[in-house]
Amino acid sequence: MCTLTWWRGAAGEGYEVFFNRDELKTRPPAKPPAAGERGGVRFLSPVDTQAGGTWIWANQFGVVMALLNWYDRESGGHSRERTTSRGVLLRDLAGSRGLAEAGAALRARGDLGTVKPFTLAGFEPGGDIQVWRWDGIGELEDAAAPPMPVTSSSFETERVLRARGEAFLSLGAAPTPEKLEAYHRNAALSGQPAAPSAFTVRMNRPDAQTWSRSRIRVEEKRVVFDYLAEAPDLAGEPQPFRAELSR
């Protein structure tokens, strides 16, 4: 129940990553992004207070990684008894100095069989997006770079993906960061936010909603993490947070 987009500038301009996190309304509130350290590498990430992991981080080397649940592969019985949090797995990679190192660390893990299916997207300065997928039973897959948006939903998956994809197409070719920001607040079509529903990018339904919107800017000398914590039922304005990291 999440949506990921990104923008990459010309040489030297850095890149940006946008991520809406959708979760059940019964899940405890997350902590906003704060500084951490793993293997001597400084990073920024929000914290899932239920499992202790995260769904997105950015580190001092300009690496960003984001995780989406792969709901289509969770329906079988093989994926129901899992003990390792996907968010903890992602957090464990935050000390990676590049995507090659992250991929090697991911493949070296001996506990993927205890992790539910996921899609993991990684970014680094000067490189393309890299994606890994784990279906819960086979081998870790190096996936082709996907088109935007990358999105997931446990509810009417095909309809949700189609609706969010159509809204993205309205941005035109090569959307700017400003257009991507508008897309993540449901303002892609008219410039004014549309009413949230189960099918919008900033979503709301009786049992789940968008709980946060992240925007990460990776620049030459710093990383800026802007985070909007949404109110229950998306009532009122979100609470903004900002964290920065020198490179």
Instruction: Give me the domains of the chain, ranges plus CATH numbers.
Output: 2-155+209-246 (3.60.60.10)
Comparing 56 with 73, the larger pLDDT belongs to: 56
Q: What is the per-residue pLDDT for 79?
A: 45
Average pLDDT estimate for 99-126? 92
Average pLDDT estimate for 183-197? 83
Provide the 8-state DSSP code for 72: G
d(CA 31, CA 42): 18
Q: What is the per-residue pLDDT for 226?
A: 99
* pLDDT higher than threshold 50 for residue 3: yes
Question: For the ranges 42-51, 145-154, 213-222, which has the lowest average pLDDT?
Answer: 145-154
Q: Read off the pLDDT of residues 118-174 as tens digits, 9 standing for 90 and up.
A: 999 999 998 889 999 998 887 888 988 889 999 988 788 889 999 999 999 999 999
d(CA 136, CA 33): 29
Q: Among residues of the chain, what percentage have pLDDT more than 70?
A: 93
Q: Convert 139-168 to b/e letters by CB count within 10 Å (16 or more is b).
A: ebeeeeeeebbbbbbbeeeeebbebbeebb
Average pLDDT estimate for 105-114? 88
Average pLDDT, the chain: 91
The two three-digit tokens of residue 137, written as one number: 């039973």
The two three-digit tokens of residue 39, written as one number: 């293997």
d(CA 3, CA 180): 11
Q: Which of 172, 86, 96 is nearest to 127 (CA)?
A: 96
Q: Residues 160, 157, 91, CA angle at the centre, nearest 5°?
A: 95
Question: For the ranges 75-79, 105-109, 112-116, 158-162, which has the lowest average pLDDT?
Answer: 75-79
Q: What is the per-residue pLDDT for 190?
A: 64
